[in-house]
């Protein structure tokens, strides 16, 4: 049997991928059309049956690619070697023997990922890792992403929050790399990520080839966000993940319409993301947003402490809420009895500080709009503002009317117009 010309192109793509991605290259990144896929499988069957011959390295590459592409396109999450052998009309024992040996040698020789578990070598796990995600698992995977978007990201795509999500997933998956399912229990509540919804091999691919897999998740969440708000989806890669999203009416239409209350044209609500001050009826408050709590700490009581110059002025226990993947602290509003120029807050688990705001809240003065929301000096316009600072501070302004009122150790100055000098 003569080697089909299309296989040379597949091998060229393989070599280019290994060159570009090096150790993080996953064979499943290779994309072939239907005709090329069938010719590749037929030729692989002939190689295993010894009906045709090529150089040893080339044979190893062709068989390895066929194993991964079969896992993507036709594997139904059953008995891999039985399904593969049946598809190529091979003896199962022979297909498994040659397939295992060839795939391991190919990966190790080319510096690609090969899974070695705590007890055994994971041949099928390695193949599925290189597949990233079989098409048979796509529906459950998209359900998981849908839950991430609506429950963890709270129906919005904000770069910083998506990046935080990706980093958390990497830490979580790294801890449970050998587990089929991920199960966490906190405050009597159980959270399970089943292998059927987020396969172990996908989690391994995410951890071992983050530069390849993380952008796929980010991109799909971006599409979900566009669909949620009725925007025209701008497909960025046109790979099999994009194709599945585009043609999945269940995911894009019915599931969104049931789970989201938003409608086309509805203005997006700006979410409170960072700790900031709030001023209402002459009283000063600190608003602390939800914080992601790492799975290492969810079994312990967690406290929030507000400090001024390292002295605790407020402490309270934090309640945790469970979303799809995260545990988060509830948003907290703390009344401040005085003005503090070196204010900070931290989250504490037992005696360990798991988060601190550092100097992000340090202020010599705080500027608010008339609704009491903090605004930064660079955001000032000609609108009337309120300024809170120490009572003894001298405040200078150009051509502005000043009304002062004193509370505790600070005063609030209203009707101050930009520009403002302190």
Cβ-contact 285, 279 below 8 angstroms: yes
The percentage of the chain sitting over the pLDDT mark of 90, rounded to a whole number, equals: 58
Q: Are 230 and 265 contacting, i.e. CB atoms less than 8 angstroms apart?
A: yes
Neighbours of 174 (CB within 10 A): 13
Q: Using the structure block, give the residue that is written with the tokens 């906190």.
A: 186
- pLDDT at residue 151 greater than cutoff 50: yes
Model pLDDT, residue 238: 86
- Per-residue pLDDT, averaged over 186-191, amounts to 64
The crossing angle, in degrees rounded to 10, of helices 34-48 and 92-109 is 110
Instruction: Read off the pLDDT of residues 63-108 as tens digits, 9 standing for 90 and up.
Output: 999 999 999 999 997 899 999 999 999 999 999 999 999 999 999 9
Which of 98-107, 159-168, 348-357 is predicted most confidently? 98-107
Answer yes or no: are the C-beta atoms of 127 and 67 closer than 8 Å: yes
Say if CB 313 and CB 324 are below 8 A apart.
no
**Stronger pLDDT, 399 or 335, i.e. the higher one:** 335
Helix (H, G, I), strand (E, B) or coil at 134: coil
Q: How far apart are CA 163 and CA 214, in angstroms?
A: 9
Query: Does position 259 have pLDDT exceeding 60, yes or no?
Result: no
pLDDT for position 386: 86
Return the higher-pLDDT residue of 189 and 302: 302
Look up tokens 């194709």; give the residue: 243
d(CA 393, CA 279): 19
Query: How high is the mean pLDDT of the chain?
Result: 86
Q: Which DSSP helix (H) or strand (E) runs through 177?
A: none
Q: Which residue has the higher pLDDT, 409 or 398?
A: 409
Beta bridge partners of 193: 182
- C-beta of residue 364 within 8 angstroms of C-beta of residue 422: yes
366 neighbors 389 (Cβ within 8 angstroms): yes
Q: Which of the 8 DSSP states describes residue 118?
A: S
Look up tokens 């001050």; give the residue.
Answer: 277
Predicted confidence at residue 207, as pLDDT, reads: 96
Q: What is the pLDDT of residues 108-149, one digit of tens each?
A: 999 999 999 766 789 999 999 999 999 999 999 999 999 999
Is residue 418 very low, low, confident or very high in pLDDT (cuts 50, 70, 90)? Answer: very low
| Beta carbons within 10 angstroms of residue 304's beta carbon | 20
Region 292-300: what's the mean pLDDT? Answer: 81
- Omega of the bond prior to 228 within 30 degrees of 0, cis? no
Q: DSSP letter string over 138-150?
A: HHHHHHHHHHIII
- pLDDT digits 0-9 by tens, 223-253: 999 999 888 898 999 899 999 998 874 444 5
Per-residue pLDDT at 417: 42
Using the predicted structure, report yes or no on whether residue 406 has a pLDDT greater than 60: no
User: How large is the average pLDDT for residues 204-232?
Assistant: 94
Q: At a CB cut-off of 8 Å and minimum separation 6, what does 270 contact?
A: none
SS3 198: coil
The SS3 call for residue 374 is: strand
CB 171 within 8 A of CB 294: yes
Helices (H) and strands (E) in the chain, counts: 13, 18
Return the pLDDT at 197. 76
Q: 100 is written with which tokens?
A: 């295992």
What pLDDT, in 10s, does the model give residues 25-54? Answer: 999 999 999 999 999 999 999 999 999 999
What is the pLDDT at residue 268? 44
pLDDT score, position 391: 81
Cα–Cα dist 263/254, whole Å: 14
What pLDDT is stored for residue 419 in this prediction?
A: 38
**Closest of 325, 318, 326 to residue 301, by C-alpha:** 318
């Amino acid at each position: 049997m003569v080697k089909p010309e299309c296989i040379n192109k597949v091998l060229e793509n393989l070599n280019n991928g290994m060159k570009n991605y090096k150790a993080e290259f996953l064979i499943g990144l290779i994309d072939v059309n239907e005709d090329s896929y069938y010719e590749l499988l037929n030729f692989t069957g002939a190689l295993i049956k010894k009906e045709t011959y090529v150089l040893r390295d080339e044979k190893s590459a062709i068989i390895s690619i066929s194993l991964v592409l079969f896992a993507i396109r036709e594997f139904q999450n059953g008995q891999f070697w039985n399904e593969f052998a049946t598809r190529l009309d091979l003896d199962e024992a022979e297909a498994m023997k040659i397939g295992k040996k060839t795939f391991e040698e190919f990966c190790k020789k080319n510096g690609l990922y090969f899974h070695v578990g705590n007890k055994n070598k994971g041949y099928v796990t390695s193949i599925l890792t290189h597949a990233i995600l079989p098409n048979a698992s796509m529906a459950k995977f998209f359900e998981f992403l849908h839950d991430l978007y609506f429950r963890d990201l709270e129906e919005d795509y904000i770069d910083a929050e998506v990046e935080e999500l990706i980093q958390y997933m990497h830490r979580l998956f790294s801890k449970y790399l050998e587990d089929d399912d991920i199960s966490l229990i906190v405050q009597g509540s159980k959270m399970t990520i089943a292998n059927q919804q987020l396969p172990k091999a996908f989690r391994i691919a995410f951890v071992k080839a983050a530069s390849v897999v993380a952008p796929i998740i980010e991109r799909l969440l971006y599409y979900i966000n566009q669909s949620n708000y009725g925007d025209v989806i701008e497909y960025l890669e046109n790979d099999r993940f994009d194709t599945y999203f585009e043609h999945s009416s269940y995911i894009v239409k019915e599931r969104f319409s049931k789970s989201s209350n938003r409608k086309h044209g509805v203005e997006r609500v700006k979410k409170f993301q960072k700790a900031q001050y709030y001023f209402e009826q002459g009283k000063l408050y600190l608003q602390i947003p939800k914080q992601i709590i790492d799975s290492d700490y969810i079994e312990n009581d967690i406290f929030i402490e507000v400090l001024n110059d390292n002295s605790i002025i407020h402490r309270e226990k934090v309640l945790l809420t469970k979303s799809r993947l995260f545990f988060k602290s509830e948003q907290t509003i703390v009344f401040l009895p005085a003005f503090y120029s070196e204010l900070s807050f931290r989250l504490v688990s037992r005696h360990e500080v798991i988060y601190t705001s550092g100097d992000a809240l340090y202020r010599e003065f705080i500027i608010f709009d008339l609704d009491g929301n903090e605004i930064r000096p660079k955001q000032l316009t000609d609108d009337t503002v309120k300024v809170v600072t120490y009572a003894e501070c001298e405040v200078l302004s150009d051509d502005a009317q000043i009304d002062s009122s004193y509370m505790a150790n600070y005063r609030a100055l209203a009707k101050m117009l930009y520009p403002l000098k302190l």
